[in-house]
Amino acid sequence: MNTRNRYMGLLLAGLLASGCAGAEPEDEALAADEQLEAQARADAAPVRRPVVVVAGLLQDANTVAPLAKVLRAQGLDVTVFVPPGLGLNDIHNYAALLGETVEEVRARTGAELVDLVGHSQGGVTSRLYVKTAGEDAHVHTVVSMGSPQQGTEIAALEVLLRLTGCARWLAACNQLVAGSEFLAELNGGDATPGEVRYVTIGTRLDSVTQPVFRAGVPGAENVVMQEACPFRAVGHFGLLQDAWAHQVVLSVLSGGPAKGECAARPIGGLI
């Protein structure tokens, strides 16, 4: 009898190990707990929306490539928008084209919302798109880097015109002069419309967007590099390559604060 009971016990143990005898209540509770923990981890994970990097005046994909490379290295889906015509035409047209790109990205990825990261004129284009599209913009965050959101002083613009020959094509250049009708339209009324997070990054050593306060937007999170890191020497195009600026962008896109480490290696430059 004892031998028979021992055999039955071994058989039952084998059935339990193979799952044929069904799960005990403790096993079911453990499985439920694991599902809850997995859901909690998923809920706590940062949302990874696709990103559109928006290039600016006289820029191409190579210009913004350092930033796009860093974002892709973090696993983000990145699309680069380059305005046709070297960005010299009416910025309203570029905002409309950017809207088409946003919808293409949403259709390809299935994402409800996208994030926009624009450098120089690209940040202005991003804001104009969100403002004109309204609820149809489908944008969560707009980050602008060295963008003349409030225009640039005439002296700084004149330098740009001489160096680039932009004086021959005045549409976009005139729009970015401080006090222009275009900027009055962009900054009039609600400067940060919708349920969108707006962050601007500026540097006092920017030779294009001067003075630096013109890179900011009322109601946005306006970050000046030298206020956070006084000795960091990075200029206009250097923002696209600078490790501190990259950290700020990545933190913002993950829902964190607009901050970076001052010890981040400055690989930008006084451009």
Q: What percent of the chain has pLDDT over 70?
A: 74
Whether 214 is covered by a domain: the verdict is yes
Residue 185 lies inside a defined structural domain of this protein: yes
In the block, tokens 């035409």 appear at 89
pLDDT value at 140 more than 50? yes
Write down the pLDDT at residue 20.
40
With cut-offs at 50, 70 and 90, classify the pLDDT of residue 156: low
The rounded distance, in Å, linking the Cα atoms of 67 and 241 is 6
Q: What is the CATH number of the domain that holds 93?
A: 3.40.50.1820
Domain containing 132 equals 48-253
- Domain membership flag for residue 85: yes
Number of domains in the chain: 1
169 domain residue, yes or no: yes
Are 92 and 127 contacting, i.e. CB atoms less than 8 angstroms apart? no
105 is a domain residue: yes
CA distances from 43 to 33, 36, 37, 40, 141 (A): 15, 10, 10, 5, 19
Specify the pLDDT at position 11.
38
102 lies in some domain: yes
Q: Is residue 134, in this structure, part of any structural domain at all?
A: yes
**Number of Cβ within a 10 Å radius of residue 32:** 10
Residue that has been written with the tokens 């000795």 in this structure: 231
- CA-based end-to-end distance of the chain: 92
58-87 residue pLDDT tens = 899 999 999 999 999 999 999 999 999 988
Q: How confident is the model at residue 139 (pLDDT cuts 50, 70, 90)?
A: very high
Q: What's residue 155's pLDDT?
A: 59
For residue 171, what pLDDT is reported? 74
Instruction: Give me the percent of the chain exceeding a pLDDT of 90.
Output: 64
Q: Reply yes or no on whether the pLDDT at 228 is more than 90.
A: yes
Q: Is residue 107 in some structural domain?
A: yes
